[in-house]
Amino acid sequence: MRRTVAVNSLLFSFVFLIFSHVASAQVGVGISVSFGPPPLPVYEQPLCPAEGYIWTPGYWAYDDDDGYYWVPGTWVEAPEVGFLWTPAWWGWGGNAFFFHEGYWGPRVGFYGGINYGFGYGGDGYEGGRWEGNHFTYNTYVTRVNTTIIHNTYNTRVTNISENHVSYNGGNGGVEARPTPEQQSYASQRHVGPVAAQTQHIQAARSNPQMRASANQGKPPVAATVRPADFRTGAVPARQAGGEYKAPPPNAAHGNQPRPAAERNPNAENRPAGNTPANPAHASELQQHSFPPPNTGNDAADKRYQQQQQKLAAKEAQDHQRLQQQQEREHQQAAQKSYNNAQKQQMEQRHAQQTQQMEQRHATQQQHMEQHQAPRQAPPRPPERPR
């Protein structure tokens, strides 16, 4: 079996950098899972480490190999003065649960109505506020050492409940819809998670104890003082937020890929990559890989590789255009408050568009391999003995 390598092309890389930026800069859908996350665990908030740090609540993230895993709540230094954190959240999209990444911005946007606690009661943030160039903490819901941090106030918060539901919509989910103001916040200038948060997520993903299948919804590290530091001042969960239910056997890996030939019978030689078996959105599609030509003719191999690079760049552009179109339709659906039937119709259309594009790309690659790949001369028949 020949090894496969990713296409090395400046144009291809450039297009995918744009593609990735669009996906991360918007409050878009990045992951779809057929079953919802566990309830939010019960835990205490560690003390704020220093002035200017803002609390980012813990949440359940998802990995194809290990399922749901807990990303501990942690204190993060705001990327700039005046910015607040809008938490990540899971929401039912009609045929699956979709993940919406958190972001930093001047206003707290919609985060599914999820009650993450510590000032994130499902609508806005009441754990603190910016006053000039200083962040001031509401000690009613935020743990602060007032002998060190003096920018504090104490205002009663009434939306404190024992609801530990971790997703919006679907069976048993929170019933909340974004307001017009919250929708406008998502279109304002904002940035995605900072580098420290990315490292924090990676540390959680690589820790087997964070997996829901291992901790049964009660992670041993529920919150940390600083990102990616799971030891110094780390806080364990006091209890699970509810009964842990293992995922159904047929849905253990919501985004698990299957062989390319199974997705498209005419794509026997196409590498499977990491694309889901039945991609529902263009944002789920992964970069395509191509088998390197290896005929022994350097000049022919170079020409064929150029053809591969050209096709890869075109496919990346197709991905980007379709993803942007689908994200615009998601935003329109939120603005117009689509009902469940309208959402389901939209999601079915998106899945059809995405899968048709992947099938078209597989056919194009096969055509190129059949008609443009350098061919080796057939072996000569053995000579007859004289």
Phi and psi for 270 in degrees, rounded to 5? -90, 130
Write the pLDDT tens digit of every residue in 164-218: 999 999 889 999 999 988 888 877 888 899 999 999 999 999 999 999 999 999 9
DSSP 300-330: HHHHHHHHHHHHHHHHHHHHHHHHHHHHHHH
Q: What is the mean pLDDT of residues 347-355?
A: 83
The pLDDT value recorded for residue 158 is 82
Write the pLDDT tens digit of every residue in 367-385: 777 665 444 445 555 555 5
CA 201, chain centre distance (Å): 11
The overall average pLDDT reported for the chain is: 79
What 3-state DSSP class applies to 351?
A: helix
Which two three-digit tokens encode residue 256? 């698990």
Cβ-in-10-Å burial (0-12, 13-18, 19+) of 307 comes to middle
Write the pLDDT tens digit of every residue in 324-340: 788 888 878 877 888 77
The pLDDT value recorded for residue 385 is 54
